[in-house]
Structure 1
Amino acid sequence: MTTQIKNVEKIFGSFRALQQINLDINEGEFVAILGPSGCGKTTLLRLLAGFDSPTSGEVVMKNQVVADEMSFLPPEKRNIGMVFQSFALWPHMNVRDHIRFPLKHHQFLSEDLKKGMDFRVDEVLKMVDMYHLGERMPSELSGGQKQRVALARAIAPKPALLLMDEPLSSLDAELRMSMRKEIQQLHHLTGASIVYVTHDQSEALAMADKIVVMNKGIIEQVGTPKEIYSSPTSPFVASFVGKANLIQGKWEGTEFYPFHQHAIKWDGTSVTSELRGENIFPARPEQLKISFREGGLKGVITNVQYQGKEIHYTVTIEDEQWVIHQDLDAMFSIGEEVYIHLKESQTRAVKKQLHFV
C-alpha cells in the first residue's frame, strides 16, 4: 500500500509541530523517521495512525484520503498495525491471546486468515521465536520477549502499513542490537510497509531503506542511509547523523581552506553544494587524523575517552572543540599540542609557496 503525506501541517495553539510535510511511503518500503525529541516525528506517526488529524494538508492511503483538516478515519478503519514504545500488553491475556486478538477484530483481515486463525497464531509465534511461550502471561516475560509479543500482535493480521514508535528505546543495548535483526527479518518475511520512528541514528542507518531526518517540525533531508550519512545537505543533518565537526572556512570550487588558512587545502569533492554554500566542511570523527606532524591545523588535546577498539579525542582548535576517533596505533594525552589532518583518502593537502617581493 502506497501512502502519501501532502502539505501536512499540525498546530497546537501557538506551536507549529509540523510544517509543510511532503512524503511518499512506497509499498514494502522501510522508512525511518529520525530526529531529536520534539522534532515532530511522533506527531507525524499519530497522523498516519489515525490518532489525530492535520491542521492542513492530507494523508492518502491506497489513493483514498484518510485525513485532512475536515475529517479523518480512525485507526480501526485503516489497514495498519502499531507497535508502541511501552509494549502496551494486556496483563490478563497470555501470549497466544495477544496474537489472536487482532485476528478477531481487524477489519481488513483476509478470508484465509479468518478461517485459519489458529494456524496464523502458530505461524507468527514461530516467526518471533515465542512458540514455546504461548501460554505465558506478560508478567512472566522479559523485556525482549514482551517486545516480540508486541511485534507479533502487530503483524498477525498482515497489515499493509506497520507503524513503530521507538519500539526498542526501553531495552538495553544488547537487546536492541538483537531486536534490530528480528525487525529486519520480519520486514522481509511480511513485505509490509514500515514507518519506524527513532531518535537513534544507528537504528535508522542499520534498518531503513529510506531515512527522513526531521528537525523543528520540518523535513531536513530524505534519502537512503548512505546518502544521509555521506552526503548531508544541511548542517543539522551533518551533525545529527554523521556527528560531523562543522568546520568553517572558504570554498574555491571543490577546494576548501579550513579557517581561511591558505597553507592548507582540502579536497571537498564529496561535500554537497548546500554545505559549500554555507562555507562549511562536514568532517566526521573518523575522517580526521591526529599527529605530531606539522602541516595540519594546530590544536590541543582536551579530553580522551578509551573505547576499546579506538579512542575518542576532543581537540580544541581555534576556540572550537572537535571530536576525532583515532585507532590505537598512536595515543595522545590531555594537554599535548597536535596537528589535525584530513585523512589522505579524503584530501589533497597542498602547501602554497610563499613569494616575497
Structure 2
Amino acid sequence: MATEIKNITKFFGKTQALKTINLSIKDGEFIAILGPSGCGKTTLLKLLAGFDSPTDGIIMIDHQNVSEKNNSTPPEKRNIGMVFQSFALWPHMTVKDHIKFPLLHHQFLANDLKNNIEKRIDEVLNIVELQTYANRMPHELSGGQKQRVALARAIAPKPALLLMDEPLSSLDAELRMEMRREIQSLHRMTGATIVYVTHDQEEALAMADRIVVMNNGQIQQVGTPREIYRKPNTEFVAKFVGKANLIHGKWLNEVTFKPYSVSIQSNWMNIEVSSDLRAKNLCPIRPEQFSLSYTGEGIEGEIMNVQFQGKEIHYTVNIGSDLIAIHEDSQNKPFYIGDTVYVNLNQKNNVPSLITI
C-alpha cells in the first residue's frame, strides 16, 4: 500500500531531529533510508511504526491518516510488520509459535488467513526455509536462522508496510551477504512494501529500488541506486555513498571542468553534476574512475597509503591540495608508499572524456 510522508518535523526538546521530510512510497516498493548515526533515519522509522508522533506534518498509510501533531495511531492499529536490529525473539516460543502469534493477534489479518492459519505457517516456513526448524527454540538457532524467524514473524500476516531497522547489523560479514539475498528473495515473493533503515551503503545499493539519503535530519537526495551513485546531488551524498573524490577546480560551463593542478593540461569534458556541486567548483570522481602511472600528463601525487583488498588495491594519494582514494585491479603492477605517480581518468569506466588544451 502507498505511504505518504508530508512535511514531517520532529523535535526532542530544543533539538530538531527531522526537518520537513516529504516522501512518497509506492505500493510494493523497496525503500532504503540511508545515513550516518544521528541523521534521523531511525526517528523517521519510529514515526512510521507509530512508536512516536511528529511535532508537525502527517503520515498517510493506504490513504488513512495515521500520524499528525500530538496524535498517533498505535502500532497495533496500523497494518505494518516490524523487523528489529536485535531480532526481539521470545525465548519461550518455538519458531512455529513466533509465526503463529501475529496470525492470532494482527488486527488487519485477512479472512483467508484467519481460516487457514496452519497453512499460512507452512507457507511462511517454506519461504524462509525453516521447515525443519519449526519446533526449535531461539537458543537452538544460529544468528542467520534467528533473523529468518524475525522476518517470518513480520511477513506472516501480510502487512501493508514492512519496516526493518538495521536488521543485519549484528551479523558477521558472510551472514550479512547471505541475508541480503534472502531479503531480496522475500521481497520478490511477497511483493511487500519495505522501508529498510541502514547506515551501510552497500546494503542500500544492493537491495533497494530507491534510496533516501539523509543527513542532519534532512533528505539530501532520493533516487535509484544507480542515480545516487553516478549523479550525487550534494557534497555529502558524493562522499557518503561510494566515497567519491571531490576534486577542486573550475567549471568552464555545465559539462566542462578544469582541475586545479599545475601538472595537468587537460579539461575534463562531458561531466554531468548537480548545480550545487558546480557552484562549489567541485567535481566528484569515484575511486575506480582513476588510474595510476609512473609517467604521464595527469595530476602528480605521492602514494601515502596502500591496502590490499583481494581483487583490488586501495591507494591513498596526496595531490597537494587533497588526499584522494584510488582503487586499482590487484592484477596490475603495484605501487608503493612514497612513489611519485600521475593520476589519470580511467577511460574504461564510463568516465568523462578529456581534451588537451
* Superposed pair shares fold, TM > 0.5: yes
* Structure 1 residue 81 displacement after superposition: 0.2
Supply the distance in 2 between the matched residues of 1:348 and 1:141 (Cα, whole angstroms).
Answer: 54
* Structure 1 residue 272 displacement after superposition: 2.8
Asked whether the equivalents of residues 270 and 353 of structure 2 are also in contact (C-alpha less than 8 Å), the reply is: no
Superposition pairs for residues 104-253 of structure 1, below 5 Å? 104-253=104-253
* Structure 1 residue 91 displacement after superposition: 0.4
Which moves more between the two structures, 259-268 or 159-168?
Answer: 259-268
Supply the distance in 2 between the matched residues of 1:35 and 1:343 (Cα, whole angstroms).
Answer: 29
Asked whether the equivalents of residues 271 and 352 of structure 2 are also in contact (C-alpha less than 8 Å), the reply is: no
* Structure 1 residue 187 displacement after superposition: 0.7
Superposition pairs for residues 46-65 of structure 1, below 5 Å? 46-65=46-65
Task: Describe the superposition over 1:272-294 as per-residue Cα deviations: whole angstroms up to 9, x where unpaired.
Answer: 33322221100110000111122
Asked whether the equivalents of residues 255 and 265 of structure 1 are also in contact (C-alpha less than 8 Å), the reply is: yes
- The corresponding residue for 2:66 is 66
Supply the distance in 1 between the matched residues of 2:352 and 2:265 (Cα, whole angstroms).
Answer: 14
3-state SS of 1:16 partner: strand
* Structure 1 residue 297 displacement after superposition: 0.5
* Structure 1 residue 56 displacement after superposition: 0.5
Query: Counterpart amino acid of 1:334?
Result: I
3-state SS of 2:266 partner: coil
TM-score by length of 2: 0.96
Q: 2:282 aligned with 1:277, yes or no?
A: no
Q: 2:338 aligned with 1:335, yes or no?
A: yes
Which moves more between the two structures, 186-195 or 98-107?
Answer: 186-195
Supply the distance in 1 between the matched residues of 2:55 and 2:324 (Cα, whole angstroms).
Answer: 41
* Structure 1 residue 268 displacement after superposition: 4.3
Supply the distance in 2 between the matched residues of 1:348 and 1:126 (Cα, whole angstroms).
Answer: 51
Q: 2:345 aligned with 1:350, yes or no?
A: no
* Structure 1 residue 335 displacement after superposition: 0.2
- The corresponding residue for 1:307 is 309
Superposition pairs for residues 81-100 of structure 1, below 5 Å? 81-100=81-100
* Structure 1 residue 234 displacement after superposition: 0.3
Query: Counterpart amino acid of 1:223?
Result: G
* Structure 1 residue 191 displacement after superposition: 1.1
Task: Describe the superposition over 1:132-164 as per-residue Cα deviations: whole angstroms up to 9, x where unpaired.
Answer: 000000010000000000000000000010000
* Structure 1 residue 260 displacement after superposition: 5.8
Supply the distance in 2 between the matched residues of 1:127 and 1:350 (Cα, whole angstroms).
Answer: 55
TM-score by length of 1: 0.96
Supply the distance in 2 between the matched residues of 1:201 and 1:270 (Cα, whole angstroms).
Answer: 22
Which moves more between the two structures, 270-279 or 332-341?
Answer: 270-279
Query: Counterpart amino acid of 1:318?
Result: G
Asked whether the equivalents of residues 256 and 268 of structure 2 are also in contact (C-alpha less than 8 Å), the reply is: yes
* Structure 1 residue 190 displacement after superposition: 1.0
Supply the distance in 2 between the matched residues of 1:322 and 1:203 (Cα, whole angstroms).
Answer: 24
Supply the distance in 1 between the matched residues of 2:65 and 2:178 (Cα, whole angstroms).
Answer: 37
Query: Counterpart amino acid of 1:332?
Result: F
Asked whether the equivalents of residues 269 and 355 of structure 2 are also in contact (C-alpha less than 8 Å), the reply is: no
Q: 2:304 aligned with 1:288, yes or no?
A: no
- The corresponding residue for 1:355 is none
Quick one: structure 1 residues 107 and 42, their matched pair in 2 at CA, closer, same or farther if it must change by over 3 Å? same
Supply the distance in 2 between the matched residues of 1:4 and 1:313 (Cα, whole angstroms).
Answer: 43
Supply the distance in 2 between the matched residues of 1:347 and 1:223 (Cα, whole angstroms).
Answer: 22
- The corresponding residue for 2:260 is 259
* Structure 1 residue 269 displacement after superposition: 2.3
3-state SS of 1:97 partner: helix
Superposition pairs for residues 309-324 of structure 1, below 5 Å? 309-324=311-326
3-state SS of 1:326 partner: strand
RMSD (Å) for aligned C-alpha atoms: 1.1
Superposition pairs for residues 14-25 of structure 1, below 5 Å? 14-25=14-25
* Structure 1 residue 348 displacement after superposition: 3.2
3-state SS of 2:93 partner: coil
Query: Counterpart amino acid of 2:260?
Result: F
Supply the distance in 2 between the matched residues of 1:3 and 1:56 (Cα, whole angstroms).
Answer: 17
Task: Describe the superposition over 1:52-82 as per-residue Cα deviations: whole angstroms up to 9, x where unpaired.
Answer: 0000001111111111003110000000000
Query: Counterpart amino acid of 1:183?
Result: I
Asked whether the equivalents of residues 268 and 281 of structure 1 are also in contact (C-alpha less than 8 Å), the reply is: no
Asked whether the equivalents of residues 300 and 336 of structure 1 are also in contact (C-alpha less than 8 Å), the reply is: yes
Q: Percent identity?
A: 62
Which moves more between the two structures, 16-25 or 61-70?
Answer: 61-70
Give the 4+ runs in structure 1 shifted more than 6 A: none
- The corresponding residue for 1:12 is 12
